[in-house]
Amino acid sequence: MFGRDSTMKTIVCDSSSLISLAESCSLGALGFLKHKFDVDFVIPPSVENEIVERPSKYGRFSFSAARLKHLLNEKVLRVASTKTLFPDSQKILSKANSLFRSSKPLSLLQSGEAECLALVKPLQAQALLIDEKTTRLLLEDPKKLYYVMQAEHKQVVGDEKALAEFKKSYAVTAIRSTELLAFAAQNGFFSGYGRDANEVFHAAIYALRYAGCSISQNEIDDYQKIDVEA
Amino acid sequence: MDFKKQLLLLKASFEKSDITALKRLSAVFADGAFEDHQEENIDLSIVAYACAKFLEKPYVVDNPDWKDFRKNLLYLLSKAIEDFSAGKDKAGFARIRDSVKLIQTLGEDLGRFAFGVIEKARLKAGAEIYAKGASLGAAVEISGSEKQELASYISSTKMPDKYVTKSVAQRLQETKKIFS
């Protein structure tokens, strides 16, 4: 199936994480992990549009877009689809965008995130690489999302049964760019920096946060306590 | 959303140069875009935010072009109110879009930053929508902002502190398992 062998790990990547990695100059971690751990990093067509086609039209985003395009050309990343990707992702959008309502149902997700979720099962993916918070909360702790939304807007009502079903239907481990980079760092990604490896790793975690990764200050502080392989 | 009512508030706030009220209205309109799926709410959010930003800058309000801009914008808002009062919503929305064009022209003529006031207004609206619960992609789609910019803008706020679900140790353990 899709040229995948039994030892290969598949990770579906959302644009949010790829943008964070690109903007913080940490895209090299993808190639490093691909070759060291036999990882197949895949993106659906909508994500390709979000990370390459659309940003390449704007000068201020074109540097990241060009480097991500290079990763696709080098086959570090690949675009994957299925025959039913469109209807599957529409089904996900329909479900996700009726989980909460105020005066009308609230549109929580869009096509890129839905296509990522729709690829997980057919590709037997081990993880979803995603930095944005709403999809991650739907997968990990939908009640927390409900709580956060109600704190912002008291009229919001969530369908708790549907939230639990959504979590169950699309169960997959969500990892962020920070976890990906930390794992790469623990396995020697920054070893070329010698005794400066730790400092570079800690700074890279900060850079990911400010490039868009949804990570709290306390979590960053926890990352600062981790020593990586020099 | 009752566009006539909101436009009356917007016009009154602009007439009084009430920056706080304009910024508050900008957030209200962005919320409306998330709740009502109406892109016109984003246009209104842009108008409210851009007016607030212009009023904050002496080099804008002291410029000779400001007087004409103010007069033209108030005219468009008045006409839009008349349109919505007469049930001519399509014409009212067209006036709001014309207001955005007027703002864009003034911003381009007088602005001192490469990043324009319209883009900044879309970014603020996107952040508001994201805070209300939309995903990054949905917030970008509704607000018309750019994903790279919105992600970076949100990360400079304290919003990410609200969304913790697992410890870093647990996350790293799970990550290790994925790669093993």
On whether any CB of chain A is under 8 Å from the CB of B56, the answer is no
Q: Which stretch of A3-12, A22-31, A45-54, B17-26 has the lowest confidence by average pLDDT?
A: A3-12
Chain A residues close to B172, C-beta within 8 Å: 179, 182-183, 226
A139 CB-contact burial (10 Å; exposed 0-12 / middle 13-18 / buried 19+): buried
Q: Is A159 exposed, middle or buried (0-12, 13-18, 19+ CB in 10 A)?
A: middle
So where are chain B's domains? 3-179
Burial of A217 (0-12, 13-18, 19+ CB in 10 A): exposed
Q: What is the DSSP letter of A52?
A: I
- What end-to-end distance do the CA atoms of chain B give, in Å? 52
Whether A222 sits inside 8 A of B146 (CB atoms) is: no
Domain assignments of chain A as residue spans, ordered by start: 9-81+175-224, 85-113+134-171
Percentages (nearest 5) of helix, strand, coil residues in chain A: 60, 10, 30
For residue range B48-104, list pLDDT tens digits in order: 999 999 999 998 999 999 999 999 999 999 999 999 999 999 999 999 999 999 999
CA distance A19 to A17: 5
- Tens of pLDDT, residues A167-217: 999 999 999 999 999 999 999 999 999 999 999 999 999 999 999 999 999
Q: What is the largest CA-CA distance in chain B?
A: 67
Q: How high is the ipTM of this complex?
A: 0.92
> Hey, is the C-beta of B133 within 8 angstroms of any chain A C-beta?
yes
- Give which of A125, A144, A117 is closest to A133, Cα–Cα: A144
**CB contacts < 8 Å between A and B, how many?**
161
Asked: is A9-81+175-224 a CATH 3.40.50 domain? The reply is yes
> Nearest by CB to B133, which of A108, A111, A112?
A108
pTM, two decimals, is 0.92
